[in-house]
Amino acid sequence: MLSLAMRLSLLSAGVRGTAVLAGGDFDVRRVVQDSRLVKPGDLFVAVRGLRANGHDFAAAAAASGAAVALQRPMPLPPGTPQIRLTDTRWGLGELAAVLHGRPARRLKVIGVTGSAGKTTTTHLTAHVLGSAGLPAGYLSTVANSAGTARDNESGQTTMDSPDVQAWLALMVEQGMAAAVIEVSSHALDQGRVAGCEFDVAAFTNVGCDHLEYHSGPEAYLRAKARLIELCASAADKGVPKTAVLNHDDGSYEPLAAIPVAGRLTYGIDREADLRALDLAPANGGVCFRMVIPAASADVRLSLPGRFNVSNALCAAACGLTLGLPLERVAAGLSSFPGLRGRLERIDLGQPFSVYVDFAHSAVALAGVLEELRFRTTGRLLAVFGASARSGGHDPAGMGRAAARNADFFVITTDDPLAADPAKLARQVEAGAQGRDRGRDYEVVLDRRSAIRLALERARPGDVVLLAGKGHERTMMLADGPVPWDERGEAEQALHELGLAAAQPQ
């Protein structure tokens, strides 16, 4: 990527409401919000976070040779280049966007949000666009791509805004025509997508999630709805600003009331602009007919489940808003190879089915279990735990979801951080009322042993779901991350139990 440098006065002029207080000729090479990473030539933006206030570290950043962006006046070393922002959270992203030449204005940008399915939909959308001749980069929970995918190691669904803008700039540099960004409610609330200039705001569904952060369901929905507001007010790039909405979801009515130039609805159960009909299982996936008022096309999706049909419709609607023909969209959906850790099937010749999925909330776990219930002629078994990283994901609700939908389940450990894994397990167990420990479920805190137990209990025709870790490569413990590979652990257990068709090489 090209090296950057822009005078503070010119950089500030690109962000509305910014005032240069000193040092307008300072050359800014990077915009940062972590004072520990500051180098000479950086612009440190003092952002108020959940646990710390960047203003408390502004003087230290200045002493390290950085210019400083503040929201309120405070003592700084004499001669410190500084600017005043009306909102440092949103200003951070706007400043980074200006420094990178506002790359989002040279891309068609699709934002995908929702409580479940947004990662899969992000990857589906980028694949559909690319297969139709519109090269698209993407930023998701799993990976980031500007033509070549790299694992997202940030630990965030949506990275901090300087990183988002750097990736958008890389997409432009690599010849991408579009960008698909998975957008979390935290990112919308914290300004991480400032400067992204959305053309399409796409919604999978909106349930109740992250209530440890948002004050309630209404606040959570308001945060999600912010994506439509950002889209409606973004720079004009010759594409009607469009909200893609799930007509089957309870969020449709409030989201449809938000002003935006265009709306495109999709659905399975209800009438919509884009609809899926004649759903039928097919070789581990599902086939269906995709219908718009003037045409229809057949899709053979490699992903299993009704909810993935909904995700596919959302991705298809995004493609249609950018002018792609229906038949090209259908071909793109049919050629999608799948996504690591999203209902990823493990087949080593064992006499039952095994799936790995990232479902790590009560809503997501219930949805996946309900879908898999239709896929088994035998019993449904599950392994899962409550993550300390997901305090609002309702541990007791996860227990209720398993008690309602699984025949047998194992409560285990999932990213406990500094929390007591046994306490987290008890919170999950509290929701499993009406089910008997020892007969209907077990608590096995060692996740490797929990997976092995479920596979030992499985019989021919059963389905086993390993939920919560999905694509992730680490387990977050009190002492830090340790390597973890859910698929690898399951495959190793199948081999050790003699259930695999062949021994590992």
- Structural domains of the chain, ranges and CATH numbers in brackets: 6-99 (3.40.1390.10), 103-334 (3.40.1190.10), 344-496 (3.90.190.20)
- Which of 282, 327, 347 lies closest to 309 in space, CA to CA? 282
pLDDT of residue 283: 81
Q: Burial, 439: exposed, middle or buried (Cβ in 10 Å; 0-12, 13-18, 19+)?
A: exposed
What is the rounded distance in angstroms from the CA atom of residue 45 to the CA atom of residue 302?
Answer: 45
SS3 content of the chain, % helix, strand, coil (to 5): 35, 25, 45
Structure tokens at 255: 């989201």
Residue 371's H or E segment, with its range, is helix 362-373
pLDDT of residue 226: 95
What is the rounded distance in angstroms from the CA atom of residue 461 to the CA atom of residue 398?
Answer: 25
Q: How far, in whole angstroms, is CA 344 from its chain's centroid? A: 17
What is the rounded distance in angstroms from the CA atom of residue 406 to the CA atom of residue 397?
Answer: 14
The model's pTM is: 0.85
pLDDT of residue 390: 56
- Which of 123, 176, 184 lies closest to 312 in space, CA to CA? 123
Per-position pLDDT tens, the chain of length 505: 456 789 999 999 999 999 999 999 999 999 999 999 999 999 999 998 767 898 999 999 999 999 999 998 889 999 999 999 999 999 999 999 999 999 999 999 999 999 888 999 999 999 999 999 999 999 999 999 999 999 888 777 889 999 999 999 999 999 999 999 999 988 998 999 999 999 999 999 987 555 555 456 788 898 899 999 999 999 999 999 999 999 999 999 999 999 999 999 999 999 999 999 999 988 878 999 999 998 999 999 999 889 999 999 999 999 999 999 999 999 999 999 988 888 899 999 999 999 999 888 888 899 899 989 887 889 999 999 998 875 546 899 999 999 999 999 999 999 898 899 999 999 999 999 999 999 999 999 999 999 999 999 999 999 999 999 998 888 989 888 899 999 999 999 999 999 998 544 4
445-455 core/surface letters (b: 16 or more CB in 10 A; e: else)? bebeebbbbbb
pLDDT of residue 216: 64
Q: Are 279 and 248 in contact (CB under 8 A)?
A: no
What is the rounded distance in angstroms from the CA atom of residue 245 to the CA atom of residue 263?
Answer: 7
